[in-house]
Structure 1
Amino acid sequence: MISWFKNIGPGPLVAAAFIGPGTVTVCALAGAGFGFTLLWAMLFSIIATIVLQEMSARLGIITQKGLAETIREEIKNPFLKSLIVILILSAIVVGNAAYEAGNISGGVLGLETVFGSPKLKLGNFFINSYSLIIGFIAFVLLYIGNYKVLEKTLVGLVIIMSFSFLITAIVTKPDVMAVLKGLFNFEAPKGSLLTIIGLIGTTVVPYNLFLHSYLVKEKWQEKADLKFAVRDTYIAVVLGGIVSMSIIISAAAIQSKEINSALDLAQALEPLFGTYSKYFLGIGLFAAGITSAITAPLAAAYVANGCLGWNTGLRSYKFRFVWIFILGLGVLFSSIGFKSIEIIKFAQIANGLLLPLIAGILIWIMNNSSILGLNKNTKIKNIIGLLILAVTLFLGAKSILGVFNLL
């Protein structure tokens, strides 16, 4: 059992990254609006995430290089290479800067659910002190620059988050048969398309493919360790999926259409299932916010490191500059309540383009014998990967059309 825990590593960090406040909100809306019927979309998302993240982890361990670094080395055409690197940097670095305020705000919302809302007045501005606290915690953990400390902290937070949301779902006493029907009956009620896209889009996250390939080589350096990485990926992503499903189930158990956010879900739970359920949800939301607030700047720094060919470590000034910049913007925008809609729209477009592109490039790389040797993709993995690629193309097109109000 001790050796089993010893080999739990990057997987929970990946789960921590995709279960952010955005995921919590989308899952709450899915449950409130469509009951248990969209659980199948989350099941598909879990399978897709496992397949793609396993490829990313295998690449990192076998080559001891990150995905961004491999893309920069393997694409020989200068124009195509520059175009893809610019898109990756735009989507991941600028995108994560845009989303970081939302990550911190989600953690703040969790604290406010439990402790109330403190405000500090500075001149004409009201600053939320919880944003500063979450930003400080994230800063300290990232600045230490010790992978093991970061890993243990995030694994602990993921466990807290998992228990919080799972207990919340259990206390709502859902209809088990209705839950099973929702998982395996592929039904798309009228008006649910954008919600389905949202559920898949918040789980199959482009920056996680880059983050995972870097994190595995921080923990494992031998090909023989691949079995640990695969098991770690499976367990963590399934655990993350259970968290997301728990939120859908909790929201579905409340027969109310007035759920527009996680805070609405917490308030709706209180009169039905007691004050304690609100606390479980609040703690879970805090954990979701702070884990994403740590992993988003970390992923951006790794991507910049690989795309720009820096080859630096966690403690280098270039690496620190990227994550400090993104974390700082997140704290600033979250604490003053500023929402840059245009930047977020740009990030959505870039990520909509990036997800199918990176999934396609990853599958291409994973079939290259000169890079992976005997560890390249099997036919079954390619078939599943191509099916996922087709869905991500559809997802990317729909998310871009949605941003321009053409859907």
Structure 2
Amino acid sequence: MSWRKYIGPGPLVAAAFIGPGTVTVCTLAGVNFGMELLWALGLSVVATIVLQEMAARIGLVTQKGLASVISQSLHKGIVRYFSIALVLMAIVLGNAAYEAGNISGGALGVSLFFPLPTLSIGQLEISLTNLLIGSIAMLLLLSGNFKTITGYLTVLVVLMSLAFLLTAILLKPNFHELADGFIPRINSENILNIVALIGTTVVPYNLFLHSTLVSKKWKEITDIKYIRFDTILAVVIGGLVSMSIVVTAASGKILAVESAADLAMGLETLLGSYAKYFMAFGLFSAGITSAITAPLAGAMVVCGCFGWSTEIQRRPMRISIIVILGLGLIFSSFGIKPIQLISWAQVSNGILLPLLSAYILWLVNKKSVMKGQQNKLFLNLIGIPIWLITLILGGWTVFRIFFDTGG
């Protein structure tokens, strides 16, 4: 059996949740709390594997994306229209807003190698680096097919993983502290960081992306073993990358750090210039891979909700990709900070994650949908507590947004 049968959309899943936001959240967790929160990432990895496997199984059995299955499974009425509207608002607006962060994060990595100038046109300032990152993502999405895109992202994810892991290893972390970091600790000081670490790993749009891509890669029920291997490998690698960033930030003993770019510069004094370039390449890879997967996932959700084709060559997919990526490029290149848009996107995602987890649990136990591939009792016993975690996470996110804005 060819090894290619075992590798599917997993690299895209890993690429999607290891973005500049994840790099920044993990950096700050390491700087502020050392290795104390590694357990939260471990929990996130388990939750992500369980939810992604369920979403992928739905995609395999139905041969449709999650958005299409949810849309078709809900009867017409207020619940159906509310659900579809929430999904579209959270995914499309959220991905457009976060796309600006993906492009800007990738540009930070590039600027540590060779900074490009900023053009001033009247009151507007256009970042050429951001424009370059966004253009590369757009060209890859519009000129390639899923196989080509997966090939590029697989290479980038492997190189990104090596960059972050090697940086962590070079710092020779204390193994006692490393082991101690997997003992759960929750208090008023670290709760926001715990929520951020889980929230940046368990990503709603990844569930839509994964289910659709699985339906394109595998066709037979017997392929489930390949799907599980691909899913577990991708999420574990992504989790190890996140952990290595925390370890790097904790072991670096650098105090004045506000972003991954600051960490990269700080490492230069500890390990020499090559460490800075490892981190810079990792940050660039995280940005460019997420800049590709975010609009791809958003476009799949739009087309899935309306029953349109999710083939990348079709007009609805291309238009959706251009709109989502284009908005992100505008926000980032022109220095526009869509704070309100991101806040509402976080609120929507905070509601969407527990709702989506509940839909997935409902669908994988529905005989008419799963045709004999329903959840076993063991998976439900794991899935229900994970749904409760997403409910708490979502509730806390919504509360924090409204609390911070005075709403």
**TM-score tier after normalising by the smaller chain length:** over 0.9
Shift of 1:329: 1.1
- Rounded to whole Å, the distance in 1 between the matches of 2:116 and 2:137 is 20
Alignment match, 1:224 = 222
CA distance in 1, matches of 2:200, 2:185: 20
- Indicate the SS of the match to 2:371: helix
Q: Secondary structure at the match of 1:204?
A: coil
Whether the 8 Å contact between 2:6 and 2:229 is mirrored in structure 1 is: no
Q: Distance in 2 between matches of 1:338 and 1:267?
A: 26
Structure 2: distance between partners of 1:312 and 1:396: 28
Correspondence 1:6-405 to 2 at 5 A: 6-183=5-182, 185-405=183-403
**Contact 1:21–1:107, Cα closer than 8 Å, also in 2:** yes
Q: CA deviation at 1:144?
A: 2.1
| Deviations, residues 137-164 of structure 1 (Å, cap 9, x unaligned) | 1111111241110110111110011001
Deviation string, structure 1 residues 363-387 (Cα, Å, up to 9, x no partner): 0000011111221101111111110
- In the aligned structure 1, how far is the partner of 2:121 from the partner of 2:97? 24
SS at the partner of 2:119? strand
Per-residue CA deviation, residues 170-197 of structure 1 (Å, 9 max, x unaligned), is: 11110112111102x1112541100000
Looking at structure 2, the residues matched to 161 and 9 of structure 1 have their Cα atoms a distance apart, in angstroms, of 18
Structure 1: gaps of 5 or more residues: none
C-alpha contact 2:12 2:293 (8 A) present in aligned 1:
yes
- Point out the more displaced range, 191-200 or 330-339: 330-339
Identity of aligned residues (%): 51
- Measure, in 1, the Cα distance between the counterparts of 2:381 and 2:144: 39
Question: Is the 8 Å Cα contact of residues 34 and 189 (structure 1) preserved in structure 2?
Answer: no
Question: Structure 1 residues 386-395 or 329-338, which shifts more?
Answer: 329-338
Aligned residues: 405
Q: Is the 8 A contact 1:114 1:278 kept in 2?
A: no
Query: Deviation of residue 77 (structure 1)?
Result: 4.2
Unaligned runs of 5+ in 2: none
Do the aligned residues in 2 keep the contact of 1:60 with 1:214 (CA within 8 Å)? yes
Q: Is the 8 A contact 1:164 1:280 kept in 2?
A: yes
Q: Measure the CA separation in 2 of the matches of 1:169 and 1:115.
A: 24
Distance in 2 (CA, whole Å) between partners of 1:93 and 1:238 is 27
RMSD of equivalent CA atoms: 1.4
Distance 1:189 1:269 in 2: 30
- Alpha-carbon separation, structure 2, partners of 1:56 and 1:350: 20
Deviates more, 1:219-228 or 1:58-67: 219-228
Kindly provide the amino acid, as one letter, of the partner of residue 134 in structure 2.
G
TM-score (norm 2): 0.97
SS of residue paired to 1:126:
strand
- Please state whether the residue corresponding to 1:258 is helix, strand or coil: coil
What secondary structure sits across from 2:372 in the alignment? helix
* 1:50-72 alpha-carbon deviations (Å, 9 max, x no partner): 00000011111111011110111
Letter in 1 for 2:222: A
For residues 58 and 71 of structure 1, do their structure 2 counterparts lie closer, same or farther at Cα, with a shift above 3 Å needed? Answer: same
Counterpart-to-counterpart distance in 1, 2:357 and 2:257 = 33
- C-alpha deviation, 1:222, in angstroms: 1.5
**1:37 touches 1:188 (CA, 8 Å); kept in 2?**
no
Deviations 1:28-77 (A, max 9, x none): 00000000000000000000000000001111111101111011111114
User: Once the two structures are superposed, what CA deviation does each residue of 1:111-133 show, in whole Å capped at 9, x if it has no partner?
Assistant: 01222343233334332111121
- For 1:54 and 1:40, the matched residues in 2 are separated by 21
SS in structure 2 at match of 1:259: coil
Which letter maps to 2:110? L
| C-alpha separation in 2, matches of 1:197 and 1:357 | 17
Which is further off, 121-130 or 355-364?
A: 121-130
